[in-house]
Structure 1
Amino acid sequence: MTPDYLSGDLAPVPDEIDAHDLPVTGELPEELTGRYFRNGPNPRPGEDPGHWFAGHGMLHGVRLRDGRAEWYRNRWVRTKAFTEDAPFVGETGVDLAAVTANTHVIRHSGRILALVESGFPYEVTPELDTVGPVDFGGRLTTAMTAHPKQDPLTGELHFFGYGFFPPYLTYHRLSAAGELVESREIEVPGPTMTHDFAVTEHHLVWLDLPLVFRLERGGMPYAWEDDYGARIGVTPRAGGPTRWFEVDPCYVFHVGNAWEDAHGRIVLNAARYTRERFAPLWGRIGGEQDPAVPAAASGAAVLHRWTLDPATGVAKEEPLDDRGVEFPTFNEDLLGRESRYLYTVADDAVVKYDQRDGGSQVRQTGGSTGEAVFVPAAGAAGEDEGWLLSVVTAGDSSRLLVLDARDLSDVASVRLPRRVPAGFHGSWLEEQ
């Protein structure tokens, strides 16, 4: 049988295409002039990578200008693993350029980077052609997370790398000009899958959770280990020791925003999995299913909040909803500062949360719904004044959906020339 990660909405497409003058329903705001890029795994025809996370990265791009959708194109990221079949681990050790670059795509200091957490980023052009791996002048000697955080005030890029051997976790900081200016170890007891982190005005927030690496497992060598424990760490951005807070066992792929409240506490919102919810998801995207897990068990995360109090050393926990959601996004002009609105996606919907009054809005999309990227309007008077961009796939067709972020109403829809497989993360790259 074809595994789940090669079928249905996850099924890869077989080739690269270009299309121009795409059909638009509604009216694209002229202010949306730039490129929407989205990354995700896409094995070549006939390949079975053994896990959804292991497929070669493919970028899908839509060029918007002056109220028109000028083009769509898709390109594999031509990493060493793609062009040379170079092994990630060889006779000389780990090759950080032999990766898939399949998780995210961002722009910083004029460079567009395709990211995966296992190795170096790959630079690509605005037309999605691959330039090559980036190690920031030889200064980066670890992997780079797929979830870096750009400070909206300084332009600095905060990120980390994790590995199989000590140091297990290393924090890095790029200047606004793209120079790697700081690297320091964050001490953790062992190698875990650290997918995301958070940044506040004065702190870095770490998730040290029980998805643990063991080389002998083979394949995707991570599994849940209760004995590892679960904790959240807070490190001063200016330097100093990390303060750790014990939390209930869980896993987090993606955080929302984090900030320091008026009492100096750290508030963190994220999509949280219990072990019971994580197991069916991990089995499904790895081509396996634990027979001890009921087939109908939910594999979804729910929105959760931790409030970390440095005065007491205690973490308060509270679920914010019981709806299954993922891929939280927000107005990143407020990254690290208190924000009111959080946007998430369910299987066939966009869900907007008001983190101040606890309310939520749901917009059904009629298909498999990708991460909703928030684009602020120029001169916006309100935090949610802007648009949400998401790729929605239903059957053999896909569209780029543009919603008004204030009320989730339709603004426009761009019909894409092919089905876009369900993938990971994307970015809006405004015209420069």
Structure 2
Amino acid sequence: MRPLKGRDDRHPYLSGNYAPIIQTRPLTPCTYTGTIPRELVGGQYVRNGANPVSNEDLGRDAHWFDGDGMLSGVLFKRGSTGEVEPEFVAQYILTDVFLATTTNPSLRHPILPSIATLVNPASSLIRIISRITRTIFLVVLSFLPGSRQAIKKISVANTAIYYHDGRALATCESGPPMRIALPSLDTVGWFDGNEADGEALEKPEDEKKEAGFGGDGLLGFMKEWTTGHPKVDPVTKEMLLYHCTFAPPYVHYSIIPANQDRQPKGPTVPKLLNQPVRGVSGGKMMHDFGVSKKHTVILDLPLTLDPLNLLKNRPTLSYDPSAPSRFGVFPRRNPSQVQWFETSACCIFHTANAWDSEGKDENVSAVNLLACRLTSATVVYTAGNLGNPSLADYSIVPKKPISFFDSYEFDQTDKPTLNGISRGSAFDAASDLESKPEDSLPLIESAYIVSPLDEEEQCQLYYYRFPLTTPDKPTISHQFALSAIPLEFPAVNPFFSMAAARYVYGCSTSTSSFGAALGKAAKIDVLAKLDVHTLLRRAEANPPTPITGCVDTRPIGSILAAQEAGTAKSDDPIRCFHMPVGWFAQEARFVPRAEAKSEDDGYLLFYAFDESQLDADGEAPPNAVSELWVLDATHMRDVVARVRLPQRVPYGLHGEWFTEDMIRAQRAVEQVRTIGEKEDFEGGWGRVRKLAYKALA
């Protein structure tokens, strides 16, 4: 299988505003238009993404998820006289891999093999093993005498960033979280579940007895590999994570309490580290999971990530559309009580929210999950400029294979409060479904499995309901799409996460094509807002077909046309913000308004780029810039402020909003990481090392 060819055979995820940028920048004043909301003053928006620092040969295997983590942030600095002074900052995350690369200028290619190499069915066993062996040799060389930087962790920390217990933490599946200092975005050190390297210890080192992520043992380093999407409970402040490995039991689970952030009179909860989750079917590519107030949902999907696949003549990462999708649901602090629910194959990279359905006795009868469900692993391949092999074993394929956010015409035939706003008590739809599940939506028998041939390529917001009342025969009672519009990178008001949030925001597209100029690269020109409560009530009144069904079957073009014509109903459960022509957005984060009167009373923050800046060849010139937009999230209509940045921010992954209080409450730091001196190859041993590096360049 050959890579898909774009214009001039360029890699779509190395072109235009997907092209990496290596320009770092300290906090730099920015200009802006509009009015910056007072809720933003003193806070900072930060987004993570991959920017490979060694990338001389653009013809190499490359993938959107490859590359060294770079943080791009806007600080809404509080001026001395009360005015707002936005400042932009961009810094690489100084991981072991990044520092080893920058101290050794002879390396022309990244230390880690590209995901595209690992997932490409055309990659021979010899090719894959040679790339992995190269990485192993480079890691070993980094520990030998004379090396400036040892590679103790292989993570590039390029996925997301979160805040927990006085620490900003950058994440990636290939290692533990990395602590970042706000607002400078300096790198502090790896966080092991107890402390981070570089921060001031709260007790003498000789008293530090607790084991961190991974614990002891030969395979302990694999148990440090932490999900890119940990969850932080907005009420208890504890952080929940899981760790995926290649060896049984494949998934371990941790809960880190917030000793610093918890309420003064709040209970002290124990730490939970590396607890096994039994029943996972193998080594998997798990990117996200679900967490409700009392339960956790692990996603065991048919996307395997296992070096042993090579022995089966399969790529290291492969998708099996004939295998089932499995959801493991267990009490938050008791993974040994996991119940496994099974349904047809799908891929889920991001969950939007999860919540419990409780009776009057406060016992949980079901766990509900909202997730962005894909019907194949297309994104894994298209993000590497590869064709999708998942349908190769079928004689019939969907008539319109499409990309990550691609739209399609849906076949209609086939108890705390925030300013008095409840975090879940008003979810009428969930309570109605709970009161009479046998009379509302159809129950899906465990034998009901949909073939991949029955579904076209799609990426939609899906609703799942996992009843806990029949532990001997776990059965998913409800599963269907809430809307036919494509939706990914979901977000909710953070105060309402893990409860019955009414609104989900996400990224979408207005076209079925993402631009011939950039091949399969997904372009986000629509931000969508879905009213989950209303859509679930409609599902109760008119039950969709299990798995393939959809509540609101309108394509996004119809929704946008009605909005632009002014004919959209005031109670329409779907509202969209359409970017101006030529402008494209990135993932948005919700920031509540001060003294908010409703759950959706707030703003969406996201980076935007005007592609009219691209040259005739579709490349971004050195003077191209991005903007940070502040969108009114209630009406999804008005951009209240636009901050012009001094450089562009490539289309990347996940961001977070940090309040002024979070920045002030950070734990003390003794030292930050810095880029060291270049490798010294003097002397006989130095020349030997230089030859070794040259051979592995």
Determine whether 1:107 maps to 2:139. no
2:34 & 2:369 partners in 1: Cα distance? 37
Determine whether 1:400 maps to 2:628. yes
Q: Could you say which residue in structure 2 is the equivalent of 1:423?
A: 652
**2:233 partner letter:** D
**1:121 partner letter:** P
Bigger relative CO (Cα 8 Å, ≥ 6 apart): 2
More helix by share: 2
**1:131 partner letter:** V
1:258 & 1:285 partners in 2: Cα distance? 28
SS at match of 2:495: helix
Q: Could you say which residue in structure 2 is the equivalent of 1:273?
A: 374
1:115 & 1:219 partners in 2: Cα distance? 28
**Match among 211, 231, 239 for residue 149 of structure 1:** 231
Q: Which runs of 5+ in 2 are unaligned?
A: 1-8, 102-110, 113-131, 141-150, 195-210, 215-222, 261-269, 360-364, 406-458, 509-523, 536-572, 612-623, 662-697
**1:283 partner letter:** Y
**Match among 130, 134, 139 for residue 212 of structure 2:** 139
2:357 & 2:17 partners in 1: Cα distance? 40
Deviation per CA, 1:352-399: give whole Å up to 9, x if none. 010011211000123222111011123322111111111112224311
Structure 1 contact 96–120 (Cα < 8 Å) conserved: no
Determine whether 1:42 maps to 2:51. yes
**2:17 partner letter:** D
**Match among 332, 356, 365 for residue 533 of structure 2:** 356
SS at match of 1:52: coil
Structure 1 contact 371–425 (Cα < 8 Å) conserved: yes
Structure 1 contact 96–119 (Cα < 8 Å) conserved: no
TM-score by length of 2: 0.58
**1:305 partner letter:** Y
Structure 1 contact 19–417 (Cα < 8 Å) conserved: no
SS at match of 1:84: helix
SS at match of 1:170: strand
Q: Could you say which residue in structure 2 is the equivalent of 1:73?
A: 89
1:181 & 1:97 partners in 2: Cα distance? 22
Structure 1 contact 9–368 (Cα < 8 Å) conserved: no
More strand by share: 1
Deviation per CA, 1:68-117: give whole Å up to 9, x if none. 34311111111011111466963799x76221100001121111111101
What pairs up with 1:146-185 in 2 under 5 angstroms?
146-177=228-259, 180-185=271-276
**Match among 58, 63, 74 for residue 62 of structure 1:** 74
Q: Could you say which residue in structure 2 is the equivalent of 1:287?
A: 385
1:243 & 1:219 partners in 2: Cα distance? 30
Structure 2 contact 50–66 (Cα < 8 Å) conserved: yes
Deviation per CA, 1:172-217: give whole Å up to 9, x if none. 0001027954331112120111110111111101111011123255
TM-score by length of 1: 0.92
Q: CA deviation at 1:310?
A: 2.0
Determine whether 1:343 maps to 2:439. no
Determine whether 1:90 maps to 2:319. no
Determine whether 1:209 maps to 2:301. yes
2:388 & 2:658 partners in 1: Cα distance? 41
332-341 vs 59-68, greater mean Cα deviation: 59-68
Q: CA deviation at 1:45?
A: 5.2
1:132 & 1:15 partners in 2: Cα distance? 22
Rg larger in structure: 2
2:654 & 2:403 partners in 1: Cα distance? 22
1:241 & 1:287 partners in 2: Cα distance? 41
Question: Measured at CA, do residues 330 and 290 of structure 1 come closer, stay the same or move farther in structure 2, by a change above 3 Å?
Answer: closer
What pairs up with 1:13-28 in 2 under 5 angstroms?
13-18=21-26, 20-28=28-36
2:314 & 2:11 partners in 1: Cα distance? 15
**1:385 partner letter:** D
Structure 1 contact 198–204 (Cα < 8 Å) conserved: yes
Structure 2 contact 168–179 (Cα < 8 Å) conserved: yes
SS at match of 2:97: helix
1:411 & 1:372 partners in 2: Cα distance? 15
Deviation per CA, 1:1-48: give whole Å up to 9, x if none. 332221123111132124633121110012212111000011125355
Structure 2 contact 49–652 (Cα < 8 Å) conserved: yes
Question: Measured at CA, do residues 418 and 295 of structure 1 come closer, stay the same or move farther in structure 2, by a change above 3 Å?
Answer: farther
Quick one: percent identity of the two aligned structures? 34
Structure 1 contact 210–226 (Cα < 8 Å) conserved: yes
Q: Could you say which residue in structure 2 is the equivalent of 1:253?
A: 349
2:91 & 2:652 partners in 1: Cα distance? 14
SS at match of 1:15: coil
Structure 2 contact 584–610 (Cα < 8 Å) conserved: yes
Q: CA deviation at 1:253?
A: 0.5
394-403 vs 66-75, greater mean Cα deviation: 66-75
Deviation per CA, 1:211-242: give whole Å up to 9, x if none. 11232559983110135421111111131410
Number of matched pairs: 428
SS at match of 1:54: coil
79-88 vs 111-120, greater mean Cα deviation: 79-88
Question: Measured at CA, do residues 175 and 19 of structure 1 come closer, stay the same or move farther in structure 2, by a change above 3 Å?
Answer: closer
Determine whether 1:8 maps to 2:109. no
Question: Measured at CA, do residues 59 and 231 of structure 1 come closer, stay the same or move farther in structure 2, by a change above 3 Å?
Answer: same
**2:277 partner letter:** I
2:351 & 2:381 partners in 1: Cα distance? 22
SS at match of 2:337: coil
Q: Could you say which residue in structure 2 is the equivalent of 1:372?
A: 588
Determine whether 1:411 maps to 2:640. yes
**2:49 partner letter:** G
1:167 & 1:76 partners in 2: Cα distance? 34
Q: Could you say which residue in structure 2 is the equivalent of 1:192?
A: 284
Structure 1 contact 21–68 (Cα < 8 Å) conserved: no
2:385 & 2:93 partners in 1: Cα distance? 24
Q: CA deviation at 1:257?
A: 0.8
2:303 & 2:167 partners in 1: Cα distance? 32
Structure 2 contact 382–388 (Cα < 8 Å) conserved: no
Please give the root-mean-square deviation of Cα atoms over the aligned residues, in Å.
2.4
